[in-house]
Amino acid sequence: MKSSVTIRKLQIKEPEDEAFEDLAKRQGDWGLQGSRKHQIMRYAENNARNEVIEEVAQHIEKCSLAFGKDTIQSFTAYVRKMKK
């Protein structure tokens, strides 16, 4: 029977790395999760982005001058997949 031993790697940070992390925290970068304020800002930015993407898709649907219906539907589907 083999015994398994988990060895953790110690992450040794250079003083410069620690200084950059401290600076980022003071400037509002709280890592991947972020503060509530940043989450709300990202949500608002994504909503605005999605609205613009939908508007572009609607304008593409109206434009049928040079392309067939299938091509237009493909374009609008592609554009709508860009939403977050």
Supply the pLDDT for residue 80: 92
What pLDDT score does 31 carry?
Answer: 55
Structure tokens at 47: 């909503």
Return the structure tokens found at 32: 């991947």
61 CB-near residues (< 8 Å, 6+ apart):
72, 76
* pTM for this predicted structure: 0.51
Average pLDDT for runs of 10 along the chain of length 84: 56 76 68 66 87 91 81 90 88
Question: Domain map of the chain by residue range?
Answer: 15-80
